[in-house]
Amino acid sequence: MPFNSADLQILLPQIILVTWASALLLIVVFNREAAKGLIPLLSAIGLGITGIFLVPQFRLEQAAFSGMYVADGFSTFLSLLLVLGGLLTIAVSYGYLQRMNLMRGEFYALMLFSISGMMLMASAADLIVVFLALELLSIPLYVLAAFARPEPRSEEAGLKYFLLGAFASGFLLYGIALVYGATGATALTGIVSAVQMGIDQPLYLVLGAGLILTGLGFKVAAVPFHMWTPDVYHGSPTPVTAFMALGAKAAGFAALLRIFIVAFPEVSGQITPVLLTVTIATLLAGNLLAIAQNNVKRMLAYSSISHAGFILMAVVVYGNDAARFDVVASALFYLLAFALASFGSWAVVMVIEKREGRGLEFSDYAGLGGKQPSLAIAMTIFMLSFTGVPPTLGFAGKFFLFRAVLEGGYVGLAIIGVLASLISAYYYLRLVVVMFMQEGEPEIHKDRWLNLTAGATALATVLLFVFSEPLFGWASQALLKVF
Amino acid sequence: MDFIFAPLNLVTFFPLIGVLILLFLKEREELSRWVALVTSLITFGISLWVLGQFNSSDPGLQLPIDVDWIQVAGWNIRYAMGVDGLSILLVLLTTFLAPISILSTWKAVEERARDFMLFFLLLEIGMVGVFLAQDLFLFYIFWEFTLVPMYFLIGIWGGQQRMYAAIKFFLYTMAGSILMLLAILWLGINQGSFYLPELVSKGGIPGNIQYWLFLAFAAAFAIKVPMWPLHSWLPDAHVQAPTAGSVILAGVLLKMGTYGFLRFNLSLFPQATVQLAPVMATLAVIGIIYGAIVSYSQKDVKKLVAYSSISHLGFVMLGLFALNAQGIEGAILQMVNHGISTGALFLIVGFIYERRHTRELDEFGGLWQVMPLYAVTTLIVALSSMGLPGLNGFVGEFTILLGAWGAGQAGGSLGNILYAAFAAVGVILAAVYILYMFQKMFLGPITKKANEKLKDLSWRELAVIVPLIILIFWIGLYPKPFFALMHPAVEQLLTVFQTAGLALH
Higher pLDDT, A135 or A322: A135
Longest Cα separation, chain B: 73
- Other CB atoms within a 10 A radius of the CB of residue B464 amount to 26
* Residue contact B189–A418, C-beta within 8 A: no
Give the mean pLDDT of A117-137: 93
pLDDT at B505: 43
* Residue contact B189–A402, C-beta within 8 A: no
The model's pLDDT over A185-230, given as tens digits with 9 standing for 90+, comes to 899 888 988 888 888 788 889 999 999 999 999 989 888 888 899 9
Report the residue count for chain A. 483
Closest CA to B500 of B329, B321, B272: B272
Q: Does the residue A450 lie in any domain?
A: yes
- Other CB atoms within a 10 A radius of the CB of residue B158 amount to 24
Average pLDDT, chain A: 89
pLDDT at B499: 67
The model's pLDDT over A385-414, given as tens digits with 9 standing for 90+, comes to 999 998 899 999 999 899 889 888 888 999
Give the 3-state secondary structure of A438-459: CCCCCCCCCCHHHHHHHHHHHH
CB distance A91 to A449 below 8 Å: yes
Residue B500 pLDDT exceeds 70 = no
Instruction: Collect all residues of chain B within an 8 Å Cβ-Cβ radius of residue A433.
Output: 155, 163, 166-167
Q: Compute the distance between CA of residue A32 and CA of residue A22 in angstroms, rounded to an integer.
A: 15
* Residue contact A391–B174, C-beta within 8 A: no
Residue among B70, B148, B167 whose CB faces A384 most closely: B148
CB distance A68 to A124 below 8 Å: yes
What are the C-alpha distances in Å from A53 to residues A57, A64, A71, A89, A140? 8, 16, 12, 20, 24
pTM metric for this prediction:
0.90
pLDDT at A2: 61
CB distance A214 to A178 below 8 Å: no
Residue B110 pLDDT exceeds 80 = no
Range of the domain at A463: 5-476
Residue A445 pLDDT exceeds 90 = no
Choose the mutation target among B4, B79, B182 for the interface with A, i.e. most A CBs under 10 Å. B182
Residue A365 pLDDT exceeds 70 = yes
CB distance A194 to A131 below 8 Å: no
* Residue contact A389–B189, C-beta within 8 A: no
Give the mean pLDDT of B367-376: 86
Give the mean pLDDT of B414-441: 86
Give the mean pLDDT of B114-132: 91
In this predicted complex, what is the ipTM?
A: 0.87
Count of structural domains, chain A: 1
- Other CB atoms within a 10 A radius of the CB of residue A85 amount to 25
pLDDT at A482: 59
- Other CB atoms within a 10 A radius of the CB of residue A22 amount to 12
Note whether A437 contacts B: Cβ–Cβ < 8 A: yes
Q: Does the residue A28 lie in any domain?
A: yes
pLDDT at B457: 83
Average pLDDT, chain B: 87
pLDDT tier at A481, thresholds 50, 70, 90:
low
Residue among A325, A402, A469 whose CB faces B185 most closely: A402
pLDDT at B1: 67
Choose the mutation target among B139, B185, B190, B223 for the interface with A, i.e. most A CBs under 10 Å. B185
Q: Compute the distance between CA of residue B65 and CA of residue B81 in angstroms, rounded to an integer.
A: 5
Query: For residue B452, what is the DSSP state?
Result: T
pLDDT tier at A3, thresholds 50, 70, 90:
low
Q: Does the residue A483 lie in any domain?
A: no
Q: Does the residue A290 lie in any domain?
A: yes
Higher pLDDT, B205 or A333: A333
pLDDT tier at A452, thresholds 50, 70, 90:
very high
Cis peptide before B229 (omega within 30 of 0): yes
- Other CB atoms within a 10 A radius of the CB of residue A368 amount to 27
Percentage of chain B exceeding pLDDT 90: 32
Q: Does the residue A207 lie in any domain?
A: yes
pLDDT tier at A347, thresholds 50, 70, 90:
very high
Closest CA to A323 of A334, A333, A312, A315: A315
Choose the mutation target among B13, B118, B189, B215 for the interface with A, i.e. most A CBs under 10 Å. B189
Note whether A370 contacts B: Cβ–Cβ < 8 A: yes
Give the mean pLDDT of B318-328: 89
* Residue contact A326–B182, C-beta within 8 A: no
The model's pLDDT over B463-497, given as tens digits with 9 standing for 90+, comes to 889 999 999 999 999 999 999 989 888 988 888 77
Helix H or strand E encompassing B361: none
How near does any CA of chain A get to the CA of B277, in Å? 26
Q: Does the residue A482 lie in any domain?
A: no
Helix H or strand E encompassing B66: strand B62-70
Q: Does the residue A294 lie in any domain?
A: yes
Q: Does the residue A148 lie in any domain?
A: yes
- The region of weakest confidence among A218-232, A336-350, B17-31, B298-312 is B17-31
Give the mean pLDDT of A122-144: 93
DSSP-assigned beta bridge partners for residue A69 = A64, A124
pLDDT tier at B504, thresholds 50, 70, 90:
very low
Report the residue count for chain B. 505
